[in-house]
Amino acid sequence: MSRYVRELGDRMLAMRLALAGRVHQYPEIQALRRFLSAFAVDCVFDVGANRGQYATMLRKDAAFRGTILSFEPNPEIFAELESRAASDGKWHVFNMALSDFDGTASFNIMAADQFSSLKKPSDQQDAIFAERNRVTRTVDMQCRRLDGLLPELKAAHGFVRPFLKMDTQGHDLSVCEGAGGALGDMAGVQTELGVRPIYEGGTAYRAMIDWLAERAFVPSAFFANNKGHFPLLVEMDGIFVNQALLSQDC
Protein backbone atom coordinates (compact mmCIF):
# COMPACT_ATOMS: atom_id res chain seq x y z
CA MET A 1 0.00 0.00 0.00
CA SER A 2 2.78 2.44 0.87
CA ARG A 3 4.25 2.02 -2.62
CA TYR A 4 0.95 2.99 -4.25
CA VAL A 5 0.56 6.01 -1.96
CA ARG A 6 4.08 7.12 -2.85
CA GLU A 7 3.45 6.69 -6.57
CA LEU A 8 0.24 8.72 -6.33
CA GLY A 9 2.13 11.46 -4.52
CA ASP A 10 4.83 11.41 -7.20
CA ARG A 11 2.24 11.82 -9.95
CA MET A 12 0.59 14.73 -8.19
CA LEU A 13 4.02 16.35 -7.71
CA ALA A 14 4.81 15.92 -11.42
CA MET A 15 1.50 17.53 -12.40
CA ARG A 16 2.02 20.49 -10.05
CA LEU A 17 5.56 21.07 -11.32
CA ALA A 18 4.46 20.81 -14.95
CA LEU A 19 1.73 23.41 -14.42
CA ALA A 20 4.34 25.73 -12.89
CA GLY A 21 6.83 25.22 -15.73
CA ARG A 22 9.23 23.36 -13.42
CA VAL A 23 8.87 19.81 -14.67
CA HIS A 24 12.66 19.58 -15.18
CA GLN A 25 13.01 19.65 -11.36
CA TYR A 26 10.88 16.54 -10.88
CA PRO A 27 13.72 13.96 -10.78
CA GLU A 28 15.65 15.97 -8.16
CA ILE A 29 12.66 16.61 -5.93
CA GLN A 30 11.45 13.03 -6.16
CA ALA A 31 14.92 11.71 -5.23
CA LEU A 32 15.30 14.15 -2.35
CA ARG A 33 11.87 13.46 -0.86
CA ARG A 34 12.61 9.77 -0.70
CA PHE A 35 16.25 10.09 0.43
CA LEU A 36 15.71 12.62 3.23
CA SER A 37 12.80 10.61 4.62
CA ALA A 38 14.31 7.13 4.26
CA PHE A 39 17.56 8.07 5.98
CA ALA A 40 16.00 10.31 8.65
CA VAL A 41 18.04 13.37 7.67
CA ASP A 42 17.49 16.14 10.23
CA CYS A 43 19.77 18.86 8.81
CA VAL A 44 20.69 19.96 5.29
CA PHE A 45 23.86 21.95 4.62
CA ASP A 46 22.89 24.20 1.70
CA VAL A 47 26.32 25.30 0.44
CA GLY A 48 26.14 27.88 -2.32
CA ALA A 49 22.62 28.94 -1.44
CA ASN A 50 22.26 31.97 -3.75
CA ARG A 51 18.82 33.46 -2.93
CA GLY A 52 17.59 30.35 -1.16
CA GLN A 53 15.99 28.57 -4.10
CA TYR A 54 17.11 25.12 -2.96
CA ALA A 55 16.01 25.61 0.66
CA THR A 56 12.64 26.89 -0.53
CA MET A 57 12.28 23.82 -2.73
CA LEU A 58 13.10 21.59 0.28
CA ARG A 59 10.30 23.18 2.27
CA LYS A 60 7.62 23.50 -0.40
CA ASP A 61 8.26 20.47 -2.57
CA ALA A 62 10.45 17.93 -0.75
CA ALA A 63 8.49 17.98 2.54
CA PHE A 64 11.66 18.57 4.58
CA ARG A 65 10.96 19.96 8.07
CA GLY A 66 14.41 19.74 9.64
CA THR A 67 17.17 22.30 10.04
CA ILE A 68 18.60 24.06 6.99
CA LEU A 69 22.00 25.77 7.18
CA SER A 70 22.56 27.96 4.11
CA PHE A 71 25.94 29.38 3.13
CA GLU A 72 26.21 32.19 0.57
CA PRO A 73 29.37 34.31 0.01
CA ASN A 74 27.93 37.04 -2.24
CA PRO A 75 27.09 39.92 0.17
CA GLU A 76 24.40 41.41 -2.08
CA ILE A 77 22.62 38.11 -2.65
CA PHE A 78 23.05 37.20 1.01
CA ALA A 79 20.77 40.07 2.02
CA GLU A 80 17.96 38.52 -0.04
CA LEU A 81 18.71 35.08 1.36
CA GLU A 82 18.61 36.41 4.92
CA SER A 83 15.27 38.10 4.28
CA ARG A 84 13.77 34.93 2.81
CA ALA A 85 14.90 32.81 5.76
CA ALA A 86 13.82 35.28 8.44
CA SER A 87 10.35 33.78 8.96
CA ASP A 88 11.60 30.20 9.24
CA GLY A 89 12.98 29.41 12.69
CA LYS A 90 14.81 26.31 11.48
CA TRP A 91 16.52 27.96 8.51
CA HIS A 92 19.84 29.65 9.42
CA VAL A 93 22.05 31.59 7.02
CA PHE A 94 25.79 32.38 6.94
CA ASN A 95 27.61 34.95 4.79
CA MET A 96 30.70 32.85 4.11
CA ALA A 97 32.14 30.26 1.77
CA LEU A 98 33.05 26.71 2.66
CA SER A 99 36.37 25.55 1.28
CA ASP A 100 39.50 23.53 2.11
CA PHE A 101 41.09 26.24 4.30
CA ASP A 102 40.24 28.81 6.96
CA GLY A 103 40.96 32.38 5.91
CA THR A 104 39.99 34.90 3.24
CA ALA A 105 39.89 34.60 -0.53
CA SER A 106 38.78 36.63 -3.54
CA PHE A 107 35.26 35.68 -4.58
CA ASN A 108 34.30 36.33 -8.22
CA ILE A 109 30.89 37.89 -8.75
CA MET A 110 29.66 37.12 -12.26
CA ALA A 111 27.31 39.01 -14.54
CA ALA A 112 24.65 36.43 -13.71
CA ASP A 113 25.04 36.04 -9.96
CA GLN A 114 24.15 32.33 -9.89
CA PHE A 115 27.50 31.67 -11.63
CA SER A 116 29.56 33.48 -8.95
CA SER A 117 32.45 31.39 -7.69
CA LEU A 118 35.80 31.23 -5.96
CA LYS A 119 37.02 29.91 -9.32
CA LYS A 120 37.51 31.81 -12.58
CA PRO A 121 35.52 31.08 -15.73
CA SER A 122 37.12 28.64 -18.11
CA ASP A 123 38.22 29.96 -21.50
CA GLN A 124 36.83 26.70 -22.90
CA GLN A 125 33.27 27.24 -21.68
CA ASP A 126 30.43 27.02 -24.19
CA ALA A 127 29.52 30.29 -25.89
CA ILE A 128 26.07 30.19 -24.29
CA PHE A 129 27.69 30.96 -20.91
CA ALA A 130 30.33 33.49 -21.98
CA GLU A 131 28.37 36.66 -21.25
CA ARG A 132 26.61 35.47 -18.08
CA ASN A 133 29.66 33.72 -16.60
CA ARG A 134 31.87 36.82 -16.75
CA VAL A 135 33.64 38.35 -13.73
CA THR A 136 32.23 41.81 -12.98
CA ARG A 137 34.02 42.36 -9.66
CA THR A 138 35.64 40.52 -6.79
CA VAL A 139 35.11 40.74 -3.04
CA ASP A 140 37.16 39.36 -0.15
CA MET A 141 35.25 36.57 1.53
CA GLN A 142 35.65 34.54 4.70
CA CYS A 143 36.24 30.84 4.07
CA ARG A 144 35.85 28.03 6.60
CA ARG A 145 36.61 24.34 6.59
CA LEU A 146 33.59 22.21 7.36
CA ASP A 147 35.48 19.94 9.77
CA GLY A 148 36.18 22.91 12.03
CA LEU A 149 32.70 24.39 11.69
CA LEU A 150 30.68 21.20 12.13
CA PRO A 151 31.15 20.80 15.93
CA GLU A 152 30.04 24.41 16.46
CA LEU A 153 26.92 23.91 14.38
CA LYS A 154 26.04 20.58 16.00
CA ALA A 155 26.27 22.20 19.42
CA ALA A 156 24.09 25.11 18.32
CA HIS A 157 21.40 23.18 16.44
CA GLY A 158 21.43 19.65 17.83
CA PHE A 159 21.25 17.66 14.61
CA VAL A 160 22.55 14.09 14.34
CA ARG A 161 22.21 13.07 10.69
CA PRO A 162 23.13 15.86 8.25
CA PHE A 163 23.11 15.92 4.45
CA LEU A 164 25.59 17.99 2.42
CA LYS A 165 24.30 19.75 -0.69
CA MET A 166 26.78 21.81 -2.74
CA ASP A 167 26.22 24.23 -5.61
CA THR A 168 29.49 26.17 -5.49
CA GLN A 169 30.20 26.54 -9.20
CA GLY A 170 33.26 24.36 -9.64
CA HIS A 171 34.36 24.39 -5.99
CA ASP A 172 32.48 21.35 -4.63
CA LEU A 173 35.57 19.14 -4.30
CA SER A 174 37.29 21.80 -2.15
CA VAL A 175 34.24 21.86 0.14
CA CYS A 176 34.45 18.08 0.50
CA GLU A 177 38.19 18.18 1.14
CA GLY A 178 37.59 20.79 3.83
CA ALA A 179 35.21 18.39 5.54
CA GLY A 180 38.07 15.97 6.18
CA GLY A 181 36.94 13.04 8.30
CA ALA A 182 33.69 14.86 9.11
CA LEU A 183 32.46 13.98 5.63
CA GLY A 184 31.74 10.54 7.07
CA ASP A 185 29.14 12.15 9.36
CA MET A 186 27.01 12.99 6.34
CA ALA A 187 24.13 10.69 5.43
CA GLY A 188 24.55 11.80 1.85
CA VAL A 189 26.09 14.29 -0.51
CA GLN A 190 24.53 16.19 -3.40
CA THR A 191 27.05 17.71 -5.79
CA GLU A 192 27.23 19.35 -9.20
CA LEU A 193 28.99 17.14 -11.72
CA GLY A 194 30.62 19.04 -14.54
CA VAL A 195 30.48 17.30 -17.92
CA ARG A 196 31.79 20.23 -19.98
CA PRO A 197 34.19 22.90 -18.59
CA ILE A 198 32.73 26.06 -17.11
CA TYR A 199 35.38 26.97 -14.50
CA GLU A 200 39.17 26.79 -14.47
CA GLY A 201 40.29 23.81 -12.44
CA GLY A 202 36.76 22.47 -12.01
CA THR A 203 36.51 18.78 -11.17
CA ALA A 204 35.26 16.58 -14.01
CA TYR A 205 32.29 14.39 -13.22
CA ARG A 206 34.16 11.08 -13.44
CA ALA A 207 36.85 12.33 -11.04
CA MET A 208 34.25 13.54 -8.53
CA ILE A 209 32.35 10.25 -8.63
CA ASP A 210 35.60 8.33 -8.09
CA TRP A 211 36.67 10.64 -5.25
CA LEU A 212 33.40 10.08 -3.41
CA ALA A 213 33.54 6.33 -4.04
CA GLU A 214 36.95 6.18 -2.37
CA ARG A 215 35.27 7.67 0.72
CA ALA A 216 32.38 5.18 0.68
CA PHE A 217 29.72 7.39 -0.93
CA VAL A 218 27.85 5.54 -3.66
CA PRO A 219 25.41 6.88 -6.28
CA SER A 220 21.75 7.14 -5.37
CA ALA A 221 20.48 9.36 -8.22
CA PHE A 222 21.67 11.43 -11.19
CA PHE A 223 19.72 14.15 -13.01
CA ALA A 224 20.32 17.20 -15.20
CA ASN A 225 20.43 20.27 -12.95
CA ASN A 226 18.71 22.56 -15.46
CA LYS A 227 16.53 22.30 -18.55
CA GLY A 228 19.52 20.96 -20.44
CA HIS A 229 21.65 22.35 -23.24
CA PHE A 230 20.73 20.12 -26.17
CA PRO A 231 22.42 18.27 -27.73
CA LEU A 232 25.30 18.22 -25.22
CA LEU A 233 24.87 17.85 -21.45
CA VAL A 234 26.86 20.50 -19.57
CA GLU A 235 26.22 19.63 -15.94
CA MET A 236 24.23 17.22 -13.83
CA ASP A 237 23.70 16.71 -10.14
CA GLY A 238 24.36 13.52 -8.26
CA ILE A 239 23.04 12.35 -4.91
CA PHE A 240 25.36 9.92 -3.12
CA VAL A 241 24.53 7.86 -0.04
CA ASN A 242 26.95 7.06 2.77
CA GLN A 243 27.52 3.34 2.36
CA ALA A 244 27.62 2.89 6.14
CA LEU A 245 23.86 3.52 6.22
CA LEU A 246 22.86 0.93 3.70
CA SER A 247 23.01 -2.09 5.95
CA GLN A 248 21.07 -0.16 8.62
CA ASP A 249 18.28 1.33 6.53
CA CYS A 250 18.04 -0.57 3.24
Q: What is the pLDDT of residues 59-91, one digit of tens each?
A: 999 999 999 999 999 988 999 999 999 999 999
**Spatial contact of 187 and 163, defined as CB atoms under 8 Å apart:** yes
User: For the chain, what is the domain count?
Assistant: 1
Query: Kind of pairing, strands 103-110 and 135-145?
Result: antiparallel
Q: Does residue 62 lie within any of the structural domains?
A: yes
Domain around 38: 30-249
Q: What is the mean pLDDT of residues 180-206?
A: 90
Give the pLDDT score at 12. 79
**C-alpha to C-alpha distance for 71 and 54, rounded to whole angstroms:** 12
Task: Find out whether 98 and 71 touch, Cβ atoms under 8 Å.
Answer: yes
Domain assignment of residue 151, yes or no: yes
Q: Pick the range with the lowest mean pLDDT from 42-46, 129-133, 195-199.
A: 129-133
Does residue 127 sit within a domain? yes
Q: Establish if 15 belongs to a structural domain.
A: no
**What's the CATH number where 60 sits?**
3.40.50.150
Residue 210 lies in a domain: yes
Does residue 2 form part of some domain? no
